[in-house]
Chain A
Amino acid sequence: MTRLLMLWLAAAGALQAQEPSQDFTALHAQLCKKEKWETVAWKTDLHESRAAAVKEGKPLFIWAMDGQTLGCT
């Protein structure tokens, strides 16, 4: 019985060692969050944007920055 318990504890310890640390889990969740600006259906292709604007009778809003506006920095 004691031996079984020891084996179980060893296995549980090994499994625990494989789990990500609390810092990892918390940081990953803290950083990988979508922001409010991502609730807009931003298009990245000009032809698709222009075709949609014509079809839906809407103006185009262009957000242009150095780097990829939606992806980088």
Chain B
Amino acid sequence: MVDRASTFADDETLALLRTKYIAFAPSLTEILKSRDSAGDFFRKVVNQRAEPRHSKQGYYICSPDGTLIKGWMYPRPDDGTMKRYLKEALAGYRSPKEVEPLDQTKIDRYANPLLPEGAVVAEVFTKLVEASWQPTTLERFSVIRGAVGRDRFWITKAERLELSKGTLADSLLERMIRFHFVDNTRGVPAMWQKGDLKALQIKTTRQNDTLHVEGTVRLEEADNRRFEAKIEGKIELKGETLSRFDLVVKGSHSARRPDVGEVPTGSAKLAIAFALLPPGDDPRIPPLYTWHGDYLKTDKLRVPEIRQSSN
């Protein structure tokens, strides 16, 4: 997925997907385990693909009755295979006249977590803006080194109400730091753990409906990651409605263990930006770490204590 920008770079491929297909993009881990009819249907489709055996990641073209037409995972980055398969599948496609209905009364919430009532969704963009790498001839590495990591961030109703009073709630800061101040540009990184937050300074200044945020953060994981960054933000509210949530975090990031594939040599500059989800975008796409079950529990990083002692 980290090379999605190159996989879907071709205009004709995108036009085929927009006009000739119904495009569906689930979270593989969750839907594979989903104990409902959507999970059953998905497993029926992907289990028809013989290769590769080690993973179900990849691309599938199927009929809505669940008959697999094509399924593949490689090559990545795509070498034109995607467009060729899209065209081949269309050439022989006959839409089924009848399709067996699926039971929609039971939905496994593990695979489909619900946005809490009154919560707001922000998008998170992550990029290594400066980094040194070992030399490589692998095209895939060259592509993903410049990739933008993406995620979603939930701001709960209580946190939104705190913002309307000019306060950044500790819970909001903890969720943001623990799950989103990470380098997710080349895969799924580990979240920060208890004891990793070493310093946090946050200053907010209110000016009419605008809240200006300035701060610094320092995170350290024993014998592995370190992130020391500045935080700057502009948040706007109209009453209790959040109309802008622009935040940028930028600083030095280093890691010894390559838990997200290769790591840059030495210290890199990691930048993270937050912005409200634009109207029309699907708010049902959940933050990555909702699978963990702790996404809304914010008692691990000792934010109130660290925030107080750092100021």
Closest to A72 in B: B288
Chain B positions within 8 Å of A2 at CB level: none
Closest to B284 in A: A44
List the A residue with the shortest CB-CB distance to B102. Answer: A47
User: In the docked arrangement, what's the CA distance between A71 and B149, Å?
Assistant: 9
Q: Choose from B7, B38, B86 the contact partner of A46 (Cβ within 8 Å).
A: B38
Closest 6 CB pairs of A and B: A37-B8, A72-B288, A65-B1, A31-B273, A49-B24, A57-B95
- Among B171-222, those with CB < 8 Å from A are 184-188, 205, 207, 210, 212
Question: A59 near B5 (CB under 8 angstroms)?
Answer: no
Contact A59 to B188, CB < 8 A, known contacts A43-B22, A47-B104: no
Pairs A–B under 8 Å by Cβ, sample size 23? A18-B207, A20-B232, A24-B232, A27-B273, A28-B246, A35-B148, A39-B18, A42-B25, A46-B31, A46-B38, A50-B41, A53-B95, A54-B95, A63-B59, A64-B42, A64-B46, A64-B60, A70-B285, A71-B151, A71-B152, A71-B287, A73-B2, A73-B187
> Which residue of A27, A41, A43, A66 is within 8 Å of B29 (Cβ)?
A66
In-complex Cβ contact of A73 among B26, B58, B112, B150 (8 A): B150
Is the beta-carbon distance between B9 and A36 smaller than 8 angstroms? yes
Asked if B23 lies at the interface with its beta carbon under 8 angstroms from chain A, I say yes
Chain B positions near chain A (C-beta within 8 angstroms):
1-2, 4-5, 7-9, 14, 17-18, 20-29, 31, 38, 41-42, 45-46, 56-64, 69, 86, 89-90, 93, 95-96, 99, 102, 104, 112, 123, 125-127, 129, 148-152, 184-188, 205, 207, 210, 212, 232-234, 246, 248, 250, 271-273, 275, 282, 284-288
A53-B95, A59-B63, A61-B21 given; name 7 further pairs at CB < 8 Å. A18-B205, A35-B4, A39-B14, A61-B61, A67-B188, A71-B152, A72-B27
Nearest Cβ distance between residue A35 and chain B, in whole angstroms? 5
Q: How far is the CB of A24 from chain B (nearest CB, A)?
A: 4
- Tell me if B152 and A44 are in contact (CB < 8 A): no
- From B9, which residue of chain A is reached at the shortest CB distance? A36
Residues B271 and A40 in contact, CB atoms below 8 Å apart = no
**A interface residue numbers (CB < 8 A to B):** 18, 20-21, 23-24, 27-28, 30-33, 35-37, 39-47, 49-50, 52-54, 56-73
Contacts of A35 in B (CB 8 A): 4-5, 8, 148
Contact across chains for A62 and B60 when beta carbons are under 8 A apart: yes
Q: How far is the CA of A33 from the CA of B151 in the complex (A)?
A: 13
Q: Which residues in A have their C-beta under 8 angstroms from that of B28?
A: 64-67, 69
